[in-house]
Copies of this chain bind each other. A is one copy, B any other.
Amino acid sequence: MENKAKKILIADDEPDILEIISYNLAKEGYETYTAKDGNDAVEQARKLQPDLIILDIMMPYKTGIEVCQLLRSLPAFQDTLIIFLTALSDESSHIKGLDTGADDYVSKPISPKVLVSRVNALFRRINKEDGKTVTVGNITIDPVRFIVAINGSEIVLAKKEFELLYLLASKPGRVFLRNEILSQVWGTDVIVGDRTIDVHIRKIRQKLGVDCVTTVKGVGYKFEL
């Protein structure tokens, strides 16, 4: 399962931050490398072919966004994970820039724990999306093609529906608390109303036409045939 250590390249012009991030990720078993500015980041990235690149937005020579755009234009970096570090003041002006292909962004000031957990989450997500098709009974859920199949016939789910179903089905039988579902599918910062999960559950049940999502009242939901 846990194969070779993932390589992470961290680019920031503040040595302190580099050190803290590097230290904390190394402690988690990642192989860390650092770059001190935009040009350095590009160079190192080409050399190392890291699995994840953490880019500060504000850096000398090239901003994180420029680095990201440059790398994304290369075939070898299509699938490389990228996280932006943004000062809060950057936010509005640069959120658009996140459309350049970042997989997540973390705002400063940085809590090592938060960053580490985001990184872990990202790798988890990738590991799953990397071909981990879930099959339970006659139901197959393919995260690569974004398709659910029951006895061969394909069913199209919307994004949230799919993510929710995939989460539940990834551990069949296990109950997911509503909170858990929220933070896994919607994220910790997004707040949605109480009925949102229900509505999506209903759509899933409706579309699948098979009774495979069970309610555990007062607790949550589970996937089960």
Contacts and interface: CB of A to CB of B under 8 A. Distances in A.
Contact of A92 (B94, B109, B159): B109
Interface string A14-29: 1011001000100000
B179 A120 contact: yes
B107 A109 contact: yes
Interface stretch (A43-51, A72-80, A95-103, A196-204): A95-103
B17 A95 contact: yes
Nearest to A89: B88
Contacts of A89: 88
A84 B111 contact: yes
A223 B180 CA distance: 31
Contact of A177 (B84, B112, B124, B222): B124
A213 to B, nearest CB: 14
Interface string A188-225: 11010000000000000000000000001111001000
A155 interface: no
B110 A95 contact: yes
A107 B104 contact: no
A150 to B, nearest CB: 17
A88 B111 contact: no
Interface string A99-126: 1001111011111111001101100100
Nearest to A95: B109
Given A175-B146, A217-B159, A98 B110 contact: yes
B96 A20 contact: yes
B114 A99 contact: no
A98 B109 CA distance: 9
A174 interface: yes
A110 to B, nearest CB: 6
A112 B159 CA distance: 28
Q: Which 7 A-B pairs have the closest CB atoms?
A: A159-B218, A105-B111, A113-B191, A146-B175, A91-B109, A145-B173, A146-B216
Given A124-B179, A146-B222, 5 more contacts: A105-B114, A145-B174, A158-B217, A159-B216, A159-B217
